[in-house]
A and B are shown apart, each in its own frame.
Chain A
């Protein structure tokens, strides 16, 4: 699936919160069709990195380029960019006052001004794919966490994004619901969706990733193929990190 066409190019990215350095000299390319999984201990900056890619955090240095266009100057039209870079959050963040279908078509109808019947058709297909078409008129509160998260993924997909960002999307779920969400993401990977995933699910990361990025204290420690990373990490820190997950 992975191609040589670079979609996102991150160069010397720097980000801080007051005095604390959150991201330091991040360099990373994301190619079309590539699945990049970012791993690292809590507070290492992985979510911050993801949020920078969607304009939710201000960047203090370096550059992010999407299809060659810089995303760090002030006149970036994020409204436009975010239609191409979708994001799914840890706590789903569906709009509680809207039904499932209203949540899904809000963006396509109001932002992209697409034809309603066409959007409905696409929403139907996506909902069927995640097995939730029968819940289209439910409110988020009537759904389980796993169902909500699958809807949140559909909501992002319905915008036809070129890249999807997943920010610890299973971290808030009960263990038995993790699988249903990860299966959806795995399905997307098989279809060639470009994705950047932050997760703590190690075996999932190994299964889905084309490339593992290991982050520690705001810096990239290593970038490896998944098999290599999990069997033979290059750095001491990555080794220590992986040890935590083994009993």
Chain B
């Protein structure tokens, strides 16, 4: 069967197990993106504050994630914080926490950028035609801000999805870990299993991320071009 290494993917429960692993990855990505975005929007609005100190704190918060690699953050949370607080968190929960905090930092920066780039006279001309506070936000500011931040936000989502691959390194049984188990089990029967398994995980990530980055680029060209 060696000539048909790809068959390893379909043997027994392998495909189902891989998809279950993918589900774990997807669950982490989904919750991280949702929580990260919500926190990020709040952070972004706070960030536009006039207080120098608030801006500085937000900046430092973002820089912490820009300087220290995400994998290091996973380590800090998984080994450090759990030990310090003497709590037991699963790798999956740790991943969601770290990715959400990181996503919030980056999303905050995107939201801040979008809000600050809105020209002041938009508010004034909105008021000039008699719009109230809510109508001003609803018809003038939010639609424009969304246009400015959506491409960046989608791009961030792609980055977060790609980064979910790291969870295997703190012991989460994700799609990669399942892949490794399959490779391990079929080491003798199918020596080329790792080629096929890693190859298909590679393609899986590509299938998910490619359309997203395509959309992000399309929107960017359409709205900023």
Direct contact of A and B (CB under 8 A): no
Q: What is the interface of chain A, defined by CB distance below 8 A to chain B?
A: none
B residues whose Cβ falls under 8 Å from a Cβ of A: none
